[in-house]
Amino acid sequence: MTEAQPVAGVPRRLLWSRAEVVSLRDDTPRVRSLTLAVADWPGHLAGQHVDVRLTAEDGYQAQRSYSIASPPEAPLLELTVETISDGEVSPYLTGELRPGDIFELRGPIGGYFVWSERQPGPLVLIGGGSGVVPLMAMLRHRAIAGPTQPALLVYSSRNWDEIIYRDELERLAAADPSLRIVHTLTRAQPQGWQGFRRRVDKAMLEELGVPALASPNLFICGPTPMVETAAQASVELGIDAARIKTERFGPSGG
Ligand X SMILES: Cc1cc2nc3c(=O)[nH]c(=O)nc-3n(C[C@H](O)[C@H](O)[C@H](O)COP(=O)(O)OP(=O)(O)OC[C@H]3O[C@@H](n4cnc5c(N)ncnc54)[C@H](O)[C@@H]3O)c2cc1C
- Looking at 64-72, 95-103, 148-156, 202-210, which segment touches ligand X (CB under 6 A)? 64-72
Q: Which is nearer to ligand X, 66 or 103 (CB)?
A: 66
Positions 196 through 225 that interact with ligand X (CB under 6 A)? 223
The strands making up 123-128's β-sheet, listed across from edge to edge, are 179-185, 151-157, 123-128, 217-222, 244-248
Site string for ligand X, 117-136 (x = CB under 6 A): -------------x--x---
User: Shortest CA distance to 95 belongs to which of 20, 24, 22?
Assistant: 24
Of 74-82, 117-125, 151-159, 168-176: span binding ligand X (CB under 6 A): 74-82
Interface stretch with ligand X, choices 14-22, 79-87, 151-159, 203-211 (CB under 6 A)? 79-87
Q: Which is closer to ligand X, CB of 161 or CB of 240? A: 161
Does 26 participate in binding ligand X (rule CB under 6 A)? no
- Closest to 112 in 3D by CA, of 232, 252, 236, 221: 221
Residue 23 as a binder of ligand X (CB under 6 A): the answer is no
CA dihedral 224, 221, 89, 14 (to 10 degrees): 120
Which parts of 146-243 fold into alpha helices (H)?
A: 166-175, 202-207, 224-236
- Which of 9, 41, 47, 66 touches ligand X by CB under 6 A? 66
Residues 6+ apart with CB under 8 A from 35: 21, 22, 23, 24, 25, 70, 76, 77, 78
Residues that bind ligand X (CB under 6 A): 49, 64-67, 80-82, 84, 86-90, 130, 133, 223, 247, 249-252
